Structure 1
Amino acid sequence: MAHLFFIFVDIILPVFILIAVGIIMQRIFQLDLYTLAKINIYFLSPALIFIKLYESSFSLSLFLQVIMFSFAFVVILYVLSMATAKLCKLSDKMRLSFSNSIIFYNSGNYGIPVNDLVFKQDPFAMSIQIAVMAFQNTLTFSYGVVALKSVHGGKLKAVLGYFKMPLFYAMFIGILFNVLNVPLPNFILTPISYISNALIAMALLTVGAQIAHINISFTYIPLYLNIFYRLVVGPVIALIGLLLLGLDGVIAQALLISTAMPTSVNSAIIAQEYNNEPEFASQTVIATTLLSSFTLTLVIFVAMHIF
């Protein structure tokens, strides 16, 4: 019960305050949602990815181990979500949004605070979460963007479009500078840090601005299915995988907890950017974030007692 209280007060409540600000500002000022999405994807997200990868403390073997687990986990979720979408006879655009909202989860601005709270600032546990975040960000802004672009245009054009985005280069340079221990002066690090710190507020404000146009309907069947897959099926699959792999201790605990995060805000942002069912994407962010305060508490309990 104590974990539930701390998660709600320290993570959930601040999230909804920022979303509420976005709703209010949209209704008063009629913000340009397309411009907000551009700012998030092309300005704020690259800074966050670079600074987190540059400043993280991790070994290459641990990083690769976490990436391999995360990749296998996402592939299983992708197959299940796509099969479900086909059975429900969803449209191509809705099928993609449905799948993205399940495989892209909030490993950064939600996952990092939760990791910090559960493991009491343990640097080893945090390095695991950083690796998960790096994989999720790469997946979101590579496959996620390519898949959305391919709905509206050619796949080759979509792939080339990804390499024009700063996200890829921010990730590559962040890892390279970290491994090579490249020192950066404060006059470079300081503005990057300021920019990255603005992402959480701007991303949630953008979601709030999107929600201002939405009537959330909890009778919408794909939304219920999305909640079930993201918050229940995902952690169960991860638990089975960790037990089969024989992983234990902090790495197993951190990985299991990381898979119980709600749908990523970035999935709603790129849905807005490419106009691919943005209302549904925003609904899943809100619904899974709200309900994760309960499901995540149970996952934390299971992780700490089994591993």
Structure 2
Amino acid sequence: MFILSIMLPIFFVFAVGYIGQSVLKLNTAMISRLTIYILVPFLVFRTFYSQTIDSSLIYFVIFILGLCFCSILIITLFTKILRYSEAERCGLILSSAFMNNGNYGTPLVLFLFGEEGMKVAIVLMVLQQLLMSTVGVYYAAKGSPFNVGSIDAVGQVLRMPMIYGAILGILFNWMHIPLGSLRHGIDFIADAAIPVIMIALGMQLANMVIKKVNWTALSFSIVMRLALSPLLAFLLVWQLPLDDLTKQIMIIIAATPTAANTTMYAIQFRVQENNVSAATFLSTMLSLITVPVVIFLTV
């Protein structure tokens, strides 16, 4: 019952965004830009400004990289066995190797563990965004029929303002720069980030249309994302010198569905966009069943 009370408010907000977009047909790209370029950077700044920066950051990097590249290795073996093309392999990587710890994982951790858990979740969100903006763009470019150069990844990273929010937060923290009454304004904007990015995900889901897909690849990506990923996370964090709460958060975040950003990359680079969109939509719906199981096993 406790887990259900956590999941239902989250999916209620997703549903509000989904229904609102279905009726109003708003410009979701503008909403996404609002969250990415204004709201989330303030949330990231506040988190890094108010928390102690220590060696745990190194272990977060090890975890994010380890989880991603272990997933890519498993996907590569699967595609070689079934003799998939390079485009199919890259599409499967986009739909399977990157979790949605922004729109989904961060609010989930907030509901589960409160502000203490949010400090961990936001650091992981920033690292994951960096990974998607580099490794994700690389595979999107590699699988593109237009043979687009993957050097665009650097530009993607430089255009992500949450990175600058993190850097400024760390600098202000390290230099002990007081914010004074300005802190109230920052809090207002930062507090708006979580509900808006949740509504934005619901709106993005409403825009997705499941067309002709490769059901074998789609089934594998859903199993990889919702079942194998949290198992890999468990194996990765088992020996890391982190507290139990942090380990629980890392495993739960690894169980979140396919990242919505990968759908944008798939569409932009024309890489298996039907399969990636379907994986984002179906994994989000099925996570209502799988994520509570992971929470029950870890908390």
Per the TM superposition, whether the score is higher than 0.5 is yes
Kept in 1, the 8 Å contact 2:103–2:201? The answer is: no
CA gap 1:206/1:115 in 2 versus in 1, 3 angstroms: closer
**Which has the larger displacement, 163-172 or 187-196?**
187-196
Pick from 141, 148, 155 the counterpart of residue 140 of structure 2.
Answer: 148
CA gap 1:94/1:286 in 2 versus in 1, 3 angstroms: same
Kept in 2, the 8 Å contact 1:55–1:178? The answer is: no
Residue number in structure 2 paired with 1:201: 199
User: How far 1:223 sits from its partner (Å)?
Assistant: 1.1
User: Following the alignment from structure 1 to structure 2, what is the Cα–Cα distance between the partners of residues 192 and 153?
Assistant: 40
User: Tell me, what secondary structure is at the counterpart of 1:108?
Assistant: helix
Which letter does structure 2 place at the counterpart of 1:73? L
User: How far 1:68 sits from its partner (Å)?
Assistant: 1.7
Q: Report matched runs for 1:30-109 at 5 Å.
A: 36-37=28-29, 40=32, 43-56=34-47, 57-109=51-103
Residue number in structure 2 paired with 1:136: 128
Kept in 2, the 8 Å contact 1:146–1:159? The answer is: yes
User: Tell me, what secondary structure is at the counterpart of 1:132?
Assistant: helix
CA gap 1:72/1:59 in 2 versus in 1, 3 angstroms: same
CA gap 1:195/1:128 in 2 versus in 1, 3 angstroms: closer
**Which has the larger displacement, 72-81 or 143-152?**
143-152
Which letter does structure 2 place at the counterpart of 1:77? S
**Which has the larger displacement, 187-196 or 275-284?**
187-196
User: How far 1:178 sits from its partner (Å)?
Assistant: 4.6
Which letter does structure 2 place at the counterpart of 1:69? F
User: Following the alignment from structure 1 to structure 2, what is the Cα–Cα distance between the partners of residues 130 and 194?
Assistant: 13
User: Tell me, what secondary structure is at the counterpart of 2:102?
Assistant: coil
Which letter does structure 1 place at the counterpart of 2:199? A
Q: Does 1:5 align with 2:4?
A: yes
State the superposition RMSD in angstroms.
Answer: 3.1
Kept in 2, the 8 Å contact 1:96–1:148? The answer is: yes
CA gap 1:39/1:153 in 2 versus in 1, 3 angstroms: farther
* Consecutive unaligned residues in structure 2, runs of 5 or more: none
Which letter does structure 1 place at the counterpart of 2:14? V
Kept in 1, the 8 Å contact 2:133–2:157? The answer is: no
User: Following the alignment from structure 1 to structure 2, what is the Cα–Cα distance between the partners of residues 220 and 270?
Assistant: 21
CA gap 1:275/1:45 in 2 versus in 1, 3 angstroms: farther
Pick from 244, 252, 255 the counterpart of residue 249 of structure 1.
Answer: 244
Which letter does structure 1 place at the counterpart of 2:84? L
* Alignment TM-score, normalising by the size of structure 2: 0.81
Give percent identity, aligned residues only.
Answer: 21
CA gap 1:4/1:196 in 2 versus in 1, 3 angstroms: closer
Pick from 141, 144, 156 the counterpart of residue 162 of structure 1.
Answer: 156
Kept in 1, the 8 Å contact 2:91–2:275? The answer is: yes
CA gap 1:24/1:282 in 2 versus in 1, 3 angstroms: farther
Kept in 2, the 8 Å contact 1:4–1:294? The answer is: no
Residue number in structure 2 paired with 1:258: 253
Q: Does 1:282 align with 2:277?
A: yes
Could you report, residue by residue, the CA deviation over 1:63-97 in whole angstroms, capped at 9, with x for unpaired residues?
22222222212211121122222333333333222
Could you report, residue by residue, the CA deviation over 1:267-286 in whole angstroms, capped at 9, with x for unpaired residues?
22332333333322221112
User: Following the alignment from structure 2 to structure 1, what is the Cα–Cα distance between the partners of residues 157 and 258?
Assistant: 25
